[in-house]
Amino acid sequence: MASGIQDDEEHNRINLEIALEVKSLRRIIGAYLNYPEAAEEDVRRNERSFERLPPAHKDLLAHLPFKFQKLRWCISKNSFFIFEMLKTFEPPLDMSQDIDVSENQHQSNASISHLLSGEKNLGSSELCLADGRVPHSQTDGPNSDDVICRSSKEMRTEQFNEFNAGSCCIGLENKGDGVCPNNEATCASSPGCNGNVMSSPPDWLDPSLQLHVPLVDVDKVRCIIRNIVRDWASEGQKERAQCYKPILEELEKLFPDRSKENPPACLVPGAGLGRLALEISCLGFICQGNEFSYYMMICSSFILNHTQMAEEWTIYPWIHSNCNSLSDGDQLRPVSIPDIHPASAGTTEGFSMCGGDFVEVYSDPNHTGAWDAVVTCFFLDTAHNIVEYIEIISRILKDGGVWINLGPLLYHFADMYGHEDEMSIELSLEDVKKVALHYGFELEQSSTVETTYTTNPRSMMQNRYYAAFWTMRKSMKMKQECLV
């Protein structure tokens, strides 16, 4: 009898987790689908402000109504890219299932209720971070039971179909030339008017299945658009040279004699849209990128797996801010993506992307001592508990393995007003290094790298970091002390 009750409770728990996962994923997809409406409202707000001007001032700024129409056309281009991206996404769950969750169910399982924290009123600190990174909430990614990855052993022989840059690419018949063939005002209301051939949407994109989402979620979509420039546009090359090049040079120096038969294994937590992980794979490493955010994973999967050629798509990433622009032309300029064709980049067999929370995925014993290198770029400060991050990095590295880090300490969960239970351990750089030493790391090099993050290179405002850059090696002493 007791066994039957336990089975029912476990069954209910699993069903609740699935329902919450579906609700979370629908909310993220809803954020993408609500992008054009939210962007249009911004334009309408600009128009209302313009209409309040006295006639003499309107005459002076007579070009602005034409600019507003251009903005609408740019929004339509971005929206088309987003919708085509969503149509290639294969949800890991049945998106058509009922997701009604009762309050009693919430209260019966505290750990599952915590997944709903993203449904609370969101404070301003949960908007795009000052550096343009997408802040993560519990509802942004897969839960621990839906991890989308292979174990490190399997990764050597199999590549994950969904996020594998070597998989067959399925693109569109016409990439478009970025020129609106019709009247731009008409184009603004025509989703497919941008030279691309539209394909049929999957059933799970039915509008009746979508959730209404707060504007803060749509702001994350705008952050993703800027992140695309950083990782996959020629315009982002300067930032990649600042952040990725030092890491790639360090890996080449530390692993000079890489074997093609048995390449070293490198993990990239917080891989974002996947460019750094791909570049590491091209150096001759078995590289796995790990990312928690579905916002990121949906986009990285599209770029890695479904682009047919370089510069296949045109987006307009800078249209959402009228501030600090040198000219309207700068604000409205197009950006072609991707700057390279990922499937032709020359990756090493075994390149993969793994979806899931870093702590939950890599706490699995199968990852203990499995990695030759761990690379963290703008990642450490995403932790609720940075000590736990460092502990896991130490555990999953082989003895003598290296940890390369580059990034700031802009803790994502600091100053989360309204979230009293949100844990955030915020250490100084000095304390972070002391913790690393405690977990068996020896510092080999340390320096400071000046860099930006998803910054518009033509903006009058440039936020800069003096990011910590270091290489640490896991000492053999750690293993010896554990054996005593």
Please tell me the pTM assigned to this model: 0.81
Most confident of 7-16, 141-150, 208-217, 360-369: 360-369
Please give the pLDDT value at position 108: 38
Please give the pLDDT value at position 416: 75
Mean pLDDT along residues 281-292: 97
Q: pLDDT for 430-452, tens place per residue?
A: 999 999 999 999 999 999 999 99
CA 359 to chain centre: 17
Confidence of residue 371 (pLDDT cuts 50, 70, 90): very high
Which tops the pLDDT comparison, 228 or 149?
Answer: 228
Of 419, 356, 288, 304, nearest to 21 by C-alpha is 356
Q: CA 463 to CA 131: how far, in whole Å?
A: 7
- 250: domain CATH number is 3.40.50.150
Which tops the pLDDT comparison, 74 or 123?
Answer: 74
The helix/strand count (H/E) of the chain reads as 17, 9
The b/e string for 17-50 (b: 16+ C-beta within 10 A; e otherwise) is bbbbbbbbbbbbbbbbbbbbebbbebbeebeeee
Q: Are 402 and 441 in contact (CB under 8 A)?
A: no
User: β-strand 286-291 against 352-355: which pairing, if any?
Assistant: parallel
Range in 24-33, 151-160, 384-393 the model is least confident about: 151-160
Confidence of residue 116 (pLDDT cuts 50, 70, 90): very low
Mean pLDDT along residues 203-230: 84
CA 238 to chain centre: 19
Q: Are 352 and 288 in contact (CB under 8 A)?
A: yes
Please give the pLDDT value at position 9: 72
**Residue-range definition of the domain harbouring residue 176:** 2-483
Mean residue pLDDT of the chain comes to 81
The structural domain count of the chain equals 1
- Three-state DSSP at 462 gives coil
Of 108, 48, 36, nearest to 73 by C-alpha is 36
Please give the pLDDT value at position 26: 87
Q: Are 460 and 324 in contact (CB under 8 A)?
A: yes
Please give the pLDDT value at position 50: 98
